[in-house]
Structure formats: structure tokens, C-alpha cells
Chains A and B, each alone.
Chain A
């Protein structure tokens, strides 16, 4: 029966007839489209007033995300919608394991409860407006390590893992830049996306000040009876904002004996994560949130014991040695045109999901955001590079306002450049020349003509 098939519905409080109809239609669409498209299931359904993204993360289990289309409001891109629904599943699976495992072990009602508590947390922390479009490509920004910094991080990781045998994998980030990951690609991306939410960048944009952003969920429905453990998705983020070392450890008061320090009762007794194929490997997780934006995630054997205070002090002392070196590396890559040309550049490598943005000092020198008027065009180019049978290598367009936009693909690397300068760049030949300079200057001739 339809109402039995429903595992979660947002918004809350919708009557059964509506939800049953929605399920019936969704099933009908999936079944019908599969008669023609056997390998690739239903992805997007567009109505005049709404758009739906369909995702089947596990066999027989579907997620549908519906976005409204309103007059005078830009329509959200289908790729962005798919990105959101995939991230929602990935985040759920990271903290809870797969849907099927829950159904098998604990039954349907437990899964319903878990979703009713998890998804509102996810939605409350996901800022649609702030999704840099290239995140829909699932890009990760890597920290620009030189050999020194890289070796120091590697050293730290090895030391910690050797001294604390229960640690299986380590993950290190600086603000929203990835420094080190011992996890597989998929888990790296999911954990990276989660930790990005906790970075200061979003805090500033959200509150307009430099006060830390404290995520919270509206207390309705199942959330009102949720335990601390069940709210760990949001609580962990709040705790990380405090930047006081290992999450769960309150700072040592003067002359306080370790034995009298109690663990922070506001947090989960044990933070668990599920990684690997089918999210089947369980880990107990300790997150160290340090000063100057460094975060370390230690994924440990769930059965082993850990002396948290020892780990906290260990990491703190070793990080304090490295931290100054790390922060001097965060300089914006020099402007190859010396401020004489207005441009934005985006690089993406599909092999390791690396994404990097650069922009000229002539324009807004704040945080990197690719101008919104061009993001849709770049997403279409990205789509063309991936989907067109001819495997195009370059697309150039001049908008009706006179701006030039170029996209190049070489093997699995993509480069997009937006030239805002209508005076200097007059023709496609100029575009070509400036792009060659970028290519030679930065990319070691990766993007051959």
C-alpha cells in the first residue's frame, strides 16, 4: 500500500491523501520511464510550476526533491537539485549507515524515525543560495601544499596513527580546504562537504558578522523528542565552531586534575560514522577542531577504548608546531595579468574532484564567487563536455553583453574562464591569446589548443 511505502515526507503535517498521491505518481513515473530507459532511471520531472529530482540511492528506495517555480525568481538548476539530494543521502549514510541496513536490523518504523530526525537537520544546514555552482560538480578545494607542509601533515598523521592504534583513518582540513584524507574518494567528498558547513566562511555570510554560525533545527515533530545522540549531525557542527580542541572535551580549568574533567554531556556519548562500500564499516569518530581553522577527524575502531584527554593534548602540541607554516601558505595565487584584466577562472579535475577558483585583483577581491550571470552558462558547458557524443574539447561564447566565456576540457580536467573586460578582449583571437597565457602560466600547458 502506498502509505506503507512512505518513509519520509517534507513538509510535515501534510495529509495522507496528498502523500499517497505523490507516491503513486512517483512510482508510476519510475515504472513508465523504465520501459524505455532500462539502464538509466527517471531523473528529473518538470512541471510548469515545479521541478522534481529523482534519486535511487539503494535498490527499491527512492528520494524525490521537489522545488517550486515562482514568477520573477530564478529557477534552480536540475544539477543543483540532484547535488542536494545526493548529499542528503550521503550525509545520512555517513552518520547512520544505509537505509536497507536499518530496515533489516531495526525495521521500518525505526528508519522512519531516523529520517524524520535527520533530514530536517540536513535541510537546516544546507544553504541553497550559497552553493557555489561548481559544488554541483562535487568539487573539493585542496589546500595549496608545498612539499614542506605536505610532509609535516603526513608526519603528524603517521605519528598520531602510530601512537593511537585504534585510529584507522585520518582526515585533515584547514577551513574549507582539504589537506589530507585517508578515506576513499566518496567518503572524502561527503566528510569534506559536512566539515565545510562548519567553516567560518558560512558563518560570516550567514550572520553578516564574524560570529560563529550555530546551526539549529526548528523543534517540531519528531525532533522534539530526539535524544542528544540523534541530533549529533547538528550538535557536532555547533561544537566544532567553538574551536577548542577535541570535541566533547571541555577546556581544562586551572589546576584541574584530568580525573575530575568530565566529558561534555551535551554531545553524543559516541559519535559514529559509517564508511566504505555500502557504508558498512563502522567507526567511532573524534573530531579535533583547532584554532586557526584546522580540523582533524580521527576515525577509530568502534570496539577499542581511547584516552581522549591524551589524544587531545597530543594533537594540540603537534599542531601548534605546524600551524604557523600552514597559515603563511594561504595567499591568493598571484594575478598573472597584474590587475590589468578582469577575469574569473575555475579549474576542475574529475579524477580527484579538485576544484580551484582564481580571479583577478582588478575585480572584487573578496571571497571567490563566480558571477551568477555566468554560472548557468558554465554548468551547461560542463554538461556538454560530459554528455555530448563528440567529446568537445573547447566551447567559447560571447554573450550579448559582450563578455567572453571559455570552457576547455583536456582528459579529465576542465577549465572555465570568464572575461569581464569588454575593451581588452574584442575577438575570439584575443580570448585565445589570453587563455594561452593562463594555460602556460598556471597550468603547465595542460590545456593544449
Chain B
């Protein structure tokens, strides 16, 4: 495994060697476990000729510029070369005219194209999402490939056009499936922000202190994660961790059952940090759903990081932080009514300076999956339309939503459609005041830096 500095300036030969080496050694880490996978991909048997396959609401295809399928959200990739072949031909038509195809619209369907030569990504969606969001999802899928293989994958395909990238990605399909599914449920992704676990400020700062003081020299980033929420993290002063990298980390940790059993040591590439080389992640679940993650540039620092982790866990237990964290994880979600505003049925608050999102729990009328999904799509729509405006109001039979945008924050507040506009404005102002009062509990205001 190569460090960041070593990964740069690789010759083609070395890259090929690396690919071949990876095929044999590293694959052992990524490949499916020996026992039959109880989470086998549900629609993996479908083919393009199946009406069922065609009627999925969102397809994602990844293929090489030779038209070879690499990943498909639904269906058996080996049967998809017909589809990817046509897509490849459409793309090359654009290229032959010195142009680039971006999007096709047919009724409710959108076909969005993203070219990251030598990789091509196409999304086919009947979800009525804004095109920008579909393209952002494709960017994440691409970033996930880089996360697993680094940008070196481009060189592999450029020198060996018919190389079957599926060999390198075997066993990781669930990670992609999970990522796409997560992006379709979690508004922190399309708002380019992160969720934080609501926590008493003292507890959070204790965790921060522990991470900072226990940090050993090999640790680049250290973070404590609870499912898809950050508890706290320590970082170098000059290299903040961007939300897009954070989401890849969260996806990795939450996609694989194998991380939960023991200490794990995994290569990971963070595209925003450096797309050309691997970092190395030490992963340990210290409680159900609570995970400690230490990232290093040094490939040989497992033992050092393991010792560091021991110290952290010890201190967390000594200061009684862990029960607080677990309590918050299982009982800490607050209802919209906690804001003291009875008319408010849901909201989304985006803090632009910290790039963090606060979202309450779902209560009636959003208890069921279908209505939650509809609300998610509404937030997507409002976020997209409210851009460039100061205020955006939208009402239908279902609900009214008010979006208020400034340089410092964006707020999306949802009410019953019967409420008057006066009530909405008053409620929004109240909500802002409540957020301000609660901000040290809802957000990580000052994560420790070194």
C-alpha cells in the first residue's frame, strides 16, 4: 500500500503492477465474506428485457468508455452491455461534434450524463428531482469509486481499455447501493452539510478534548461517529474535512457488517483531500452504532492507532461520555414541538458557516415512509428553487413550506396548509431564536484542531 506522497508520479507500469497486486491481495479485504450473504442484492437477477427492471424509479449506470458495464444499481451487469453500449454511442456522438451530452428529458424521466473519462456515469430517474441533484448523485458514485481505488483507476483504464473494473470492485456493490439509497433519504447530502448528534455541550467538548489529547502523531483525522451523525472530530488546522468526504466515510462505516466485529484496518481514498493516494482508516465500534475512526497517511501505523484507540476508549469510559452518546443516539431525536412552536410540523436548518444540518424527528403527518419520502422530495425542490431568492413560499393541499435564505443560514419550515402567512413568519422567527439558544447542543461549533 502506498502513502499519499508515494502515490503521486506513478509510472504506467507501476500502476498496472498496483492493479495486479490489488487484484490478489487487497481484494481479500473487499470481497464478500465466506458465509452466504444474507443481504444479497435484491434485484441482481433482473435484465433489461424485464418490465420490472425498466420500471425502477432510479437507475444508475457506470461504464467504461469502451461501453463495458461496471456498476448498475439494478440488474445483472453482465447482461447490460446492450444498454451501456447505446449510452456509450450517444456520448461519443456528442464528442465527435466537440460537444458533450448533458441530459435527456422524456415525460417524467430524466437521463443525466456525467463524464469522468475514462468512466461514464448515467442516471435514469422518474423521481422528478432537479437535474442538479441527479448529477450530484452521480458525482458521489464516482467519488465512491475513487474512494475505493484512487484516481489511479483512470490510468488503469487508459492503458488497458478492456480491463474489467468489476474485478476490483467485486463485493462492493452494496456500498454503492447504500450510498445511492442514502443520498435519496438524507438531506445533509444535497445540502452539502453534515448531521451532528445532538449532545450536551460539556459532553461534546469532553469528547473533543479526549480526541485531541489522545491523538498520536500518525493520526491525521480522528472522529467519533454515531450511525450517520458526527459526535466530534479532530483535524489538522489547514485541512478541514469537507462534507463530501465525510459522507463517503459514513457510507463506508455503515455499509459493511464486518467493521462491527473487530478492529479493522482499511485503505480509503478521500477524493477532496487527495484523490491520487490512499489513506488508511482504523475502525472500531466501541458500542452498538458508535464508531471510532482514526485516519492516517501511514500504511504501517495500525498498532500505533490501535493503542491510540485504547486510550480514547478508556478516557471516554472514565468521563462517562459513552452512555450520554448512546442515550442521545437512541432517545435524543427531538420532535418539532420541542421548539415550542405548535404550528411547526417539520423543518430543516442549515448552518452555512459550520456546514451542518439540524433536522427534527418525523412525527405526524410524516410517520410513514411514503409521506417522509414526499417531504424529502419537497425539501429537494424547495432547496433548488430557493437558491438566489431571499424568501420562497410554496403551498399545496398537503403543507406550506417557507424557505428563508441568508449568507449565514438557510431555513426550511413546514406547516399545515391552513396556517396564515403571518403565523409562518412569526414561527420562523421563533424557530431562529430557538436554534440560537440550542446551537451548542445541536452543532459542533468548535471541533478541535492541531
Contact = CB atoms under 8 A, between A and B. Distances in A.
Contact of A33 (B89, B111, B394, B398): B111
A380 B87 CA distance: 29
A40 B102 contact: no
Interface string A383-415: 010011111111111111010000000000000
Interface stretch (B233-241, B273-281, B350-358, B384-392): B384-392
Interface in B375-396: 378, 381, 385-386, 388-396
B102 A47 contact: yes
Contacts of B374: 389-390
Interface string B117-133: 00000001010100000
Given A44-B105, A47-B94, A398 B54 contact: no
Given A50-B99, A429-B422, A36 B392 contact: no
Among B94, B396, B398, find the residue whose CB has the most chain A CB atoms closer than 10 A: B396
A25 B424 CA distance: 51
B106 A392 contact: no
A265 B59 CA distance: 62
Nearest to A406: B393
Contact of A399 (B87, B107, B109, B390): B390
B44 to A, nearest CB: 19
A399 B104 contact: no
B315 to A, nearest CB: 48
Contacts of B425: 427-429
Nearest to B51: A38
Contacts of B86: 28, 32
Contacts of A40: 106-109
A33 B389 contact: no
Interface string A276-287: 000000000000
B46 interface: no
A399 to B, nearest CB: 6
Interface string B90-104: 100110001111111
Contacts of B102: 46-48
Given A28-B90, A390-B398, A429-B422, A43 B106 contact: yes
B25 interface: no
Most buried by A among B98, B124, B386: B124
Contacts of A29: 90, 104
Interface in B42-66: 48, 54, 59
B47 to A, nearest CB: 12
A43 B107 contact: yes
A21 interface: yes
B257 interface: no
B90 A25 contact: yes
B5 to A, nearest CB: 36
A397 B397 contact: no
A45 B397 contact: no
Interface string A361-398: 00000000000000000001000100111111111111
Contacts of B111: 33, 36
Given A33-B111, A36-B106, A390-B398, A47 B391 contact: no
B391 A393 contact: no
A380 B105 contact: no
B109 A33 contact: yes
Contacts, number: 127
A37 interface: yes
Given A47-B102, A427-B425, A392 B394 contact: yes
Nearest to B55: A36
Interface string A26-67: 001100111111011111111111100000000000000000
A432 interface: yes
Given A29-B104, A392-B394, A397 B389 contact: yes
B39 to A, nearest CB: 27
B54 A36 contact: yes
B395 A392 contact: yes
B389 A399 contact: yes
A387 B124 CA distance: 19
Interface string A96-118: 00000000000000000000000
B95 to A, nearest CB: 11
A78 B105 CA distance: 10
Contact of B396 (A41, A44, A393, A429): A393
Contact of B107 (A41, A384, A398, A428): A41
Interface in A337-357: none
A68 to B, nearest CB: 10
A399 B387 CA distance: 9
A37 B108 contact: yes
Interface in B390-426: 390-398, 421-422, 424-425
Interface string B347-371: 0000000000000000000000000
A37 B104 CA distance: 11
Contacts of A47: 94, 99-102
Contacts of A32: 86-87, 90
A211 B374 CA distance: 56
Contacts of B392: 395-398
A394 B104 contact: no
Interface string A1-45: 000000000000000000001000100110011111101111111
B93 A25 contact: yes
Nearest to B387: A400
A396 B400 CA distance: 11
Contact of A46 (B54, B103, B126): B103
Contacts of A37: 106-109, 126
A429 B421 contact: yes
B431 to A, nearest CB: 16
Contacts of A396: 391-394
Contacts of B395: 392-395
B99 A48 contact: yes
Interface string A238-274: 0000000000000000000000000000000000000
Contact of A380 (B90, B108, B109, B385): B385
A36 B112 CA distance: 13
B22 to A, nearest CB: 35
B391 A397 contact: yes
Contacts of B393: 394-397, 428
A389 B104 contact: no
A33 B106 contact: yes
Contacts of A428: 391, 393, 421, 424-425
Given A48-B99, A387-B128, A399-B388, A39 B396 contact: no
A380 B384 CA distance: 12
B106 A391 contact: no
Interface of A: 21, 25, 28-29, 32-37, 39-50, 78, 380, 384, 387-400, 402, 427-429, 432
21 contacts: A28-B89, A42-B106, A43-B105, A47-B100, A48-B99, A49-B100, A387-B128, A388-B381, A390-B378, A391-B397, A393-B395, A394-B395, A395-B392, A397-B389, A397-B391, A397-B392, A398-B389, A399-B388, A400-B388, A429-B421, A432-B421
Given A35-B54, A390-B398, 19 more contacts: A25-B93, A28-B89, A32-B90, A36-B59, A37-B109, A40-B106, A42-B105, A43-B106, A45-B103, A46-B102, A47-B99, A48-B99, A48-B100, A384-B385, A388-B396, A392-B395, A396-B391, A397-B393, A399-B388
Interface of B: 48, 54, 59, 86-87, 89-90, 93-94, 98-109, 111, 124, 126, 128, 374, 378, 381, 385-386, 388-398, 421-422, 424-425
